[in-house]
């Protein structure tokens, strides 16, 4: 499937964009594991509560059949571009579908992705080294895939809960540490200074945060 087709799919419910000239063969969007009702912000059940009202010594891990980040990623149309990208990056899609690995997903809004000076799979260094045809042919498609993976991995924190001012690294290898803090009642991702629009979902294997901007991942 051409990358132009993929990008068009991701934008069906968002603002229409110009077709893209570069091609990548990518997976079809994954269908939800099972039908979900309109759950709203989803919180895992309190499995520590006993019938007699007592508490277990420690919380239990999420159940295999519980709601996962992969189940809720596509529900908010404001982030459907990024949600589609996560399904095309194996390291991320497998993690978000794993109840044993918690994550905090920092999903940029469609408008933030569309406002980028370059596409998420483009790197100015590729153009400087290889010219305008940097993403044509098999080698070009491989470069584009790697760049898209870097973009997506830079927006996934392999931890949840994520405490305020706790410094962590994303899935992107070699990424710098990031943290969040409250400013005037708003969560802000530092050191990029990106505002968190909302915490869209809390589920069995982490949280989905919607960002007003895009991390500087280059």
| Alpha carbon distances (Å) from 132 to 24, 36, 117, 129, 175 | 17, 45, 16, 10, 27
pLDDT the model gives residue 53: 52
pLDDT the model gives residue 73: 92
Tens of pLDDT along the chain (218 residues) come to: 444 444 444 444 343 333 333 344 444 444 444 433 333 443 333 444 444 454 444 443 443 348 999 999 989 999 999 999 999 999 999 999 999 999 999 999 999 999 999 999 999 999 999 999 999 999 999 999 999 999 999 999 999 999 999 999 999 999 999 999 999 999 999 999 999 999 999 999 999 999 999 998 66
Please give the Cα distance from 180 to 188 (Å, whole number): 5
pLDDT the model gives residue 216: 80
pTM recorded for the entire structure: 0.71
The conformation of residue 177, written as its DSSP 8-state character, comes to: P
Please count the other Cβ atoms lying within 10 Å of the Cβ belonging to residue 173: 8
pLDDT in tens, 54-92: 444 444 344 334 899 999 998 999 999 999 999 999 999
In this structure, what token pair is assigned to residue 25?
């063969």
Q: Which residues of 126-139 are buried (b: 16+ CB within 10 A; e: fewer)?
A: beeeeeeebbbeee
Q: Is 8 exposed, middle or buried (0-12, 13-18, 19+ CB in 10 A)?
A: middle
Q: Is 99 exposed, middle or buried (0-12, 13-18, 19+ CB in 10 A)?
A: buried
pLDDT the model gives residue 34: 40
CATH architecture of 3-30+68-211: Roll (2.30)
Per-position DSSP letters for 26-87, written without gaps between them: -PPPPPPSS------S-----TTB-TTS-B-SSPPPPPTTS--HHHHGGG-GGGHHHHHHHH
């Amino acid at each position: 499937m051409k990358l132009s087709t993929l990008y068009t799919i991701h934008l069906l419910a968002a603002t229409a964009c110009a077709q893209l000239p570069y091609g990548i063969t990518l997976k079809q969007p994954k269908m939800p594991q099972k039908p979900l009702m309109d759950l709203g912000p989803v919180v895992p059940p309190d499995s520590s509560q006993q019938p007699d009202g007592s508490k277990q010594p420690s919380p239990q891990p999420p159940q295999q059949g519980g709601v996962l980040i992969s189940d809720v990623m596509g529900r908010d149309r404001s982030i459907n571009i990024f949600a589609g990208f996560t399904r095309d990056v194996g390291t991320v899609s497998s993690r978000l579908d794993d109840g044993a690995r918690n994550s905090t997903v920092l999903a940029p809004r469609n408008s933030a992705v569309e406002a980028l000076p370059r596409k998420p799979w483009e790197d100015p260094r590729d153009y400087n080294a290889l010219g305008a045809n940097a993403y044509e042919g098999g080698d070009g498609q491989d470069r584009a895939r790697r760049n898209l993976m870097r973009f997506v991995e830079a927006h996934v924190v392999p931890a949840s809960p994520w405490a305020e001012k706790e410094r962590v690294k994303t899935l992107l290898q070699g990424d710098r540490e990031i943290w969040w803090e409250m400013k005037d009642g708003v969560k802000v991702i530092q050191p990029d200074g990106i505002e968190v629009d909302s915490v869209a979902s809390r589920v069995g294997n982490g949280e989905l945060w919607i960002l007003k901007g895009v991390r500087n991942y280059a």
